[in-house]
Every structure is written in structure tokens, then in C-alpha cells.
Amino acid sequence: MHALPAALVEGMRVVLGDRVREGEPLARHTSFRIGGPADLLALPDTVAELAEVLRGATRHGVRVTLLGGGSNVLVGDAGIRGIVVKLGRGFSRLTWTDGDGVPRVRAGASVQLGRLARAAAHH
């Protein structure tokens, strides 16, 4: 595990409480049940919380890895450096609007993580 800036970790704790964990074994969060620790695991439940995680990481120049639900992911024994984001239960159903204002509902399994991250960054 690598040390992250204390201000970043404390900021994440203010936003997420016990849903931010230092040195969390990723084996607990993947379908294959293998993988070393995340420097910091964040479990946001809302787009606003995800946005705060992304802003904090950007402010401190820390890498973010989106884990999604943890399905079909292999994590090495060395783990993942920076912040790993695993989406919480609030992301099981999302509504998108595509410029035309028409809502399109998507289940959590089909959420495009890149699109979600971009939306949260603009939130």
C-alpha cells in the first residue's frame, strides 16, 4: 500500500464516512475473489458522492480506477494504486438524457463507466 495525502483521505471520509477504506483487499469486491489491496477504496452511492471523489482525486493528482460492480475483473496480488471506486447500491438504476431530453433508464449492469465518470465530473 502506498501513502495518499492525508487531506485527500480525510476529505473522502467526510463525504463517504465508513464507505472509504484504506488498504482494503479487493478480493472482497470482485467476483473471482482474488486481488491485493487498494490504496483507498471508495464506495459512493450517488452521482454527487462520485463527483466529490473525482474532484478530490484531481485536486491531489491521484489516479482513479473505476471497478464498477467487480464482475469479471482480475486484480493482482500487489493491488491497485490510488483510489479504487466501486459503485454502491444507488447506482443499480440510472436515468440518462441524451441531449433530446428523453430519459433513458439503464440497469446498473449496462452502465458505461466512462460516461458515468464524465457525468459526475460535470455534476
Question: Tens digit of pLDDT for each residue in 26-84?
Answer: 999 999 999 999 999 999 988 889 999 999 999 999 999 998 778 888 999 999 999 99
105: confidence class by pLDDT, cuts 50, 70, 90: low
**CATH 2.60.40.10 corresponds to the domain 6-91:** no
CA dist list (Å): 90 to 4, 50, 85, 116:
27, 11, 13, 13
First to last CA, the chain: 30
